[in-house]
Amino acid sequence: MTASPRAVELALEAAQAAADKLARDIVVLDVSERLAITDCFVVASADTERQVKAVVDGVEEQLRRLGAKPLRREGEREGRWVLLDFSDVVVHVQHGEERTYYALERLWKDCPQIAFTDRDLSRTVEAVAPGAGRR
């Protein structure tokens, strides 16, 4: 069983919303074969607690436009790891230190990744090759 088309659509929109708020290291995982409670995880990093909150707000706003409301929102007070549960999609926005420590991608390494490309290619190019073309 693979993630539903709706779950993939929401996960990719969540990933784009996170990218629009300058989240880093965005990964979309199809966890549908391992978990019965959700189809996709979106994992993103932010450098500060304020940015974590901005990313979370951006994701929630974008998915609401698509008719998805979060069932739960956890960890917002601390701003270090916020979880948004949209049922078919669970979004994890983590401060860089938490991302490194908990390494969700390693825990779910057997799950296939869903390809995500930032629509703003200038951010993608900079993320892949910082300083490219500079002398």
102 located within any domain:
yes
Q: Which of 13, 37, 1 is nearest to 116 (CA)?
A: 13
CATH number assigned to the domain comprising residue 62: 3.30.460.10
Three-state secondary structure call for residue 27 = strand
Find the domain containing 17 and state its range: 5-116
10 located within any domain:
yes
Reported as a single tens digit per residue, the pLDDT across 33-69 is 998 899 999 999 999 999 999 999 999 999 999 999 9
Reported as a single tens digit per residue, the pLDDT across 2-26 is 899 999 999 999 999 999 999 999 9
131 located within any domain:
no
45 located within any domain:
yes
133 located within any domain:
no
Question: Side chain identity at 5, as an amino acid letter?
Answer: P
44 located within any domain:
yes
Count of domains for the chain: 1
pLDDT value for 79: 81
Asked which of 16-20, 63-67, 104-108, 129-133 is least confident by mean pLDDT, the reply is 129-133
87 located within any domain:
yes
How far, CA to CA in Å, does 25 sit from each of 44, 77, 97? Answer: 6, 23, 13
